[in-house]
Amino acid sequence: MTFRYALELAYRGTDYHGWQIQPNASSVQEEVERRLSQLSGNNPVSVIGCGRTDTGVHASYYVLHFDAFKELDCNQLVYKLNKMLPEDISVFSAQKVNETFHARFSALSRTYHYFVHREKNPFLLDSCHLTQECDFSAMNRAAERLLGKQDFTSFSKLHTDVKTNICTVSKAAWIQKEDQTWFFEIQADRFLRNMVRAVVGTLLEVGYGKLTEDQLQEIIGMKDRGEAKLSVPAKGLFLVDVAYPENEFLRTNRSL
């Protein structure tokens, strides 16, 4: 008999080659699995995350699930994991969930924030420094063209193994946090590899006056990655929320 558990956690992705385990490269998944395996008496434990994040991308809110062969004390599990994990990975909670819960496939939506700032600031290293003026109003008008169910091939990394590039975007807007500090918020039912960073890079071209809103719409319609602009650096990108049906998973409302 097995018992399924879900963990809420956060991580700073700077020193990792993304969430997913890969050969000869450090990953967040590998770190978490190693510690869970140690806690289970060195019996291998595999975890399934709510999605992939690329090299250098962060998560202020992330969900994973795993199966155990015995019931666990959730409070003790959180305490022990946080003692064992490196400082750039933090576990908020552990909870027992139904065996049908799946961290990836049960998710209804995911939300990302991409942070930018105008003035050089050593305390904003996880934000992209914009070295020229940007028209955020124009970028917000253009961002409205992203809403709805569309084919986002133009913003997807090439040669991925997904069956479709269609996503339904429910939020897309630039929000001012404080003077000279902004973030782009985008929420969708699913995201393609590199999609958010490519979208932000293209929106910035609108902000710089190099693209129009109509040209952004044309880029979407072309379904060609070569038509979109360069991706922005990974360091400014955070996964900030993952939504699930309330009867399957209860969020603790804690995040960084």
pLDDT digits (tens, 9 = 90+) for 213-227: 999 999 999 998 888
112 contacts 185 by C-beta, under 8 angstroms: yes
For residue 99, which phi and psi values (nearest 5 degrees)? -65, -15
pLDDT for the residue 92: 95
30 burial type by CB count under 10 A (0-12 exposed, 13-18 middle, 19+ buried) = middle
SS3 22: strand
pLDDT band for position 256 (50/70/90)?
low
pLDDT for the residue 255: 65
| Closest of 20, 1, 22, 23 to residue 11, by C-alpha | 20
pLDDT band for position 170 (50/70/90)?
very high
pLDDT band for position 68 (50/70/90)?
very high
Q: What percent of the chain has pLDDT over 90?
A: 83
119 contacts 180 by C-beta, under 8 angstroms: yes
Active site residues: 54
* Cα angle: 63, vertex 66, 71; to 5 degrees: 115
Q: Which token pair is 103?
A: 């961290």
The single-letter DSSP state of residue 118 is S
pLDDT band for position 209 (50/70/90)?
very high
Q: List Cβ<8 Å contacts ≥24 apart for 118-121.
A: 118/180, 118/181, 119/180
pLDDT at 160 over 70: no
What average pLDDT does range 182-199 have in this prediction? 96
pLDDT for the residue 180: 75
What average pLDDT does range 139-144 have in this prediction? 97
pLDDT for the residue 104: 96
Query: Whole-number mean pLDDT of the chain?
Result: 94
Strands (E) across the chain are located at 3-11, 47-49, 58-68, 89-97, 109-117, 128-129, 148-151, 166-178, 181-188, 237-243
What distance in Å separates the CA atoms of residue 117 and residue 207, rounded to the nearest whole number? Answer: 14
- The Cβ of residue 255 has, within 10 Å, a number of other Cβ atoms equal to 16
What average pLDDT does range 69-81 have in this prediction? 95
pLDDT at 33 over 80: yes
pLDDT at 57 over 90: yes
What average pLDDT does range 196-224 have in this prediction? 95
pLDDT for the residue 64: 98
pLDDT band for position 157 (50/70/90)?
confident
Q: Which of 9-23, 76-90, 106-120, 155-169 has the lowest mean pLDDT?
A: 155-169
Q: Which token pair is 37?
A: 């395996």
